[in-house]
């Protein structure tokens, strides 16, 4: 017998031996996979009931105090840039993270009777981005500590109100927020000021966390098909805007960070980049009845159609930079500026209509919800840079123009097969008597006479995950006229997973593209970012 034949027999024997081991190998692998699956299944079951806050904190207290209910939440909001750390405009963009916010919320409700209740909602915020980054471009906490953490009672005691409710009457008195609008963007949702630290990154889903609650009396009376809501608001809150050294501070805002960070007068708001002298703004006071704000809303229901009218006599949320004089120093001619809050009259309209279109090809019955919101504002105040230029040359004017503004939106929401939700929301902003050189005013267009944003939103749950995984996309292209045209667009992609009834996580990618460097979205072309959001509620 040849050596080759012996080798072939040996290989055949080895192959046969391997064949004998295959079932054992398959059985071993199957057992391992089954054990891993069982282990993961056990872990998933434990995770589904993981609620230490409820088990060891809220539930024991609720058992000891009848009538008291406690809810708590922990949020982690983290966003990081995906583009390079190049300097953009006046920004020293040597940072990567945009936020690492840890927000802890505790809500306590005590029911005195079936109709009477007192509620307290408390917030504790710490944004680690200012400590983790050690970046020269992040110093906003030196302007206002609230950028880094909430350390005063006004911020921590977020809401505190007493409510009395019957089938016909709701009375809520105390510090609270009012959500009148339902749109992506704020149209009639103008009662509360906003925490706008995220600028163009702010989403409608975050409004509940970003509104700034105010002290007010909120009364609603329900007739048969009509409701009347009246608000008396002695409190005042200005918008909380991104400032020098904040991640979302505009790169168009001079001076550069190297100079701004070392100019304490600039950070304190006593001067501006041009060297003008700014006095302290006089906020409206609650004890003066003439300084209080008033609002009214009436809603009418007629089958599937509801519509409403609103009126709001309010203060502007951002101070108007009014010129009161001039002075000259070693660096040249400068202005004296007195920040003032001016009164505004808001008139609004809202409508909802729901219906079903039968027998749509490839779809079948198609449920649709139509919404409309519009707000007309009288005499909103705009900084007028053409007037400011004249003031520097000695002309007598305050550098401010008054213009009526309109903001409006339509929304069409479709319930498509496979639980897909689609929303198309064309939004419109308009400034009456607009001209080149106008800054920003309440409710008006930005950088042009009109802005048009056709927002598109699509969300689909994944059936294989029992709808716990949801994917959605929001597209917001920004058009304006008659001068600028396309001001860039924003695209937001979200994958969210409901781990349990207590825990939810999301991965978010936000892209800014198009437009010029001085356009609304165009200036943030290098701010594309990926975010992680975790939420635990107990």
Provide the Cα torsion 318, 75, 182, 210; round to 10°: -10
**536 sits in which H/E element:** strand 529-537
Give the helix/strand (H/E) hosting 41. Answer: helix 3-48
Confidence (pLDDT) at 156: 97
Closest residue by Cα to residue 530 from 77, 75, 82: 82
Instruction: Give 232's contacts (C-beta < 8 A, 6+ positions apart).
Output: 216, 217, 292, 293, 294
Strands 332-340 and 277-278: parallel
DSSP state at residue 251: T
- Report residues of the chain scoring pLDDT below 70: 1-41, 43-44
Q: Are 349 and 307 in contact (CB under 8 A)?
A: yes
Q: Which residues contact 264 (CB under 8 A, 6 or more apart)?
A: none
**pLDDT value of residue 3:** 39
Q: Which phi and psi angles does 147 have, rounded to 5°?
A: -65, -30
CA-closest candidate to residue 91, choices 138, 125, 29: 138
Instruction: Note the pTM of the prediction, 2 decimals.
Output: 0.88
pLDDT at 282: 85
Residue 409: in which H helix or E strand, if any? strand 400-416
**pLDDT reported for residue 436:** 93
Give the burial string for 27-37 (b: 16+ CB within 10 Å, else e): eeeeeeeeeee
> Which residue, 414, 455, 422, 447, is CA-closest to 204?
455
pLDDT at residue number 38: 57
Contact (Cβ atoms closer than 8 angstroms) between residue 150 and residue 116: no
Question: Please, which residues have CB within 8 angstroms of residue 296's CB and are 6 or more apart in sequence?
Answer: 228, 229, 230, 231, 310, 311, 312
Query: Which pLDDT does position 131 carry in this prediction?
Result: 95
Beta-strand runs (E) in 279-393: 293-302, 305-315, 320-329, 332-340, 343-360, 364-383
Q: What pLDDT, on a 0 to 100 scale, did the predictor assign at position 300? A: 98
239: helix, strand or coil: coil
What φ, ψ does residue 279 adopt, rounded to 5°?
-85, 175
Contacts within 8 Å (CB) and 24+ apart, 415-422? 415/366, 415/367, 415/368, 416/363, 416/366, 417/363, 417/364, 418/460, 418/463, 419/460, 419/461, 419/463, 419/467, 420/458, 420/459, 420/460, 421/457, 421/458, 421/459, 421/460, 422/456, 422/457, 422/458, 422/459
pLDDT for 34 equals: 53
């Amino acid at each position: 017998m040849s050596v080759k034949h012996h080798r072939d027999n040996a290989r055949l024997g080895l192959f046969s031996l391997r064949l004998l081991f295959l079932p054992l190998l398959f059985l071993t692998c199957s057992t391992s996979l089954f054990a891993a699956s069982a282990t993961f299944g056990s872990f998933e079951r434990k995770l589904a009931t993981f609620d230490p806050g409820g088990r060891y904190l809220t539930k024991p207290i609720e058992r000891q105090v009848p009538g008291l209910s406690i809810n708590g939440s922990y949020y982690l909001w983290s966003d990081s840039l995906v583009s390079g750390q190049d300097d953009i405009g006046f920004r020293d963009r040597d940072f990567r993270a945009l936020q690492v916010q840890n927000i802890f919320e505790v809500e306590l409700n005590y029911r005195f009777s079936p109709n009477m209740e007192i509620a307290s909602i408390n917030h504790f915020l710490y944004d680690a981005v200012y400590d983790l980054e050690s970046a020269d471009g992040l110093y906003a906490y030196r302007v206002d500590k609230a950028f880094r953490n909430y350390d005063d009672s006004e911020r921590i005691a977020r809401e505190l109100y007493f409510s009395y409710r019957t089938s016909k009457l709701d009375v809520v008195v105390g510090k609270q927020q009012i959500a009148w609008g339902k749109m992506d963007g704020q149209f009639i949702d103008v009662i509360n000021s906003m925490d706008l630290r995220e600028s163009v990154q702010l989403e409608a889903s975050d409004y509940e966390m970003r509104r700034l609650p105010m002290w007010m009396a909120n009364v609603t009376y329900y007739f048969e098909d009509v409701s009347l809501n009246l608000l008396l608001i002695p409190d005042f809150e200005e918008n909380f805007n991104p400032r020098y050294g904040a991640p979302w501070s505009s790169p168009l805002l001079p001076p550069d960070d190297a100079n701004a960070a070392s100019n304490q007068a600039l950070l304190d708001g006593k001067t501006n980049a041009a060297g003008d002298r700014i006095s302290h703004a006089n906020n409206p006071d609650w004890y003066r009845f003439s300084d209080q704000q008033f609002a009214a809303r009436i809603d009418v229901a007629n089958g599937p159609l509801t519509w409403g009218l609103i009126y709001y006599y309010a203060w502007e949320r951002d101070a108007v930079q009014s010129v009161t004089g001039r002075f000259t120093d070693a660096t040249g001619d400068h202005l004296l500026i007195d920040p003032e809050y001016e009164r505004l009259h808001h008139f609004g309209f809202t409508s909802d209509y729901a219906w079903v279109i039968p027998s749509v090809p490839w779809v079948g019955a198609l449920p649709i919800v139509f919404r409309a919101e519009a707000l007309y504002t009288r005499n909103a105040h705009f900084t007028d840079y053409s007037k400011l230029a004249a003031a520097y040359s000695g002309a007598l004017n305050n550098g401010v123009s008054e213009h009526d503004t309109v903001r409006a939106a339509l929304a069409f929401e479709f319930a498509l097969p496979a639980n897909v939700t689609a929303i198309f929301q064309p939004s419109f902003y308009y400034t009456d008597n607009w001209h080149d050189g106008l800054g920003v005013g309440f409710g008006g267009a930005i950088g042009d006479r009109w802005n048009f944003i056709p927002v598109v939103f699509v969300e689909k749950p994944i059936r294989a995950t029992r709808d716990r995984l949801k994917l959605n996309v929001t597209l917001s292209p920004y058009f304006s006229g008659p001068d600028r045209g396309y001001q860039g667009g924003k695209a937001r992609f979200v994958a969210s997973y409901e781990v349990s009834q207590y825990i939810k996580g999301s991965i978010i990618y936000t892209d800014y593209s198009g437009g010029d460097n001085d356009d609304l979205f165009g200036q943030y072309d290098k701010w594309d970012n990926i975010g992680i959001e975790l939420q635990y509620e107990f």
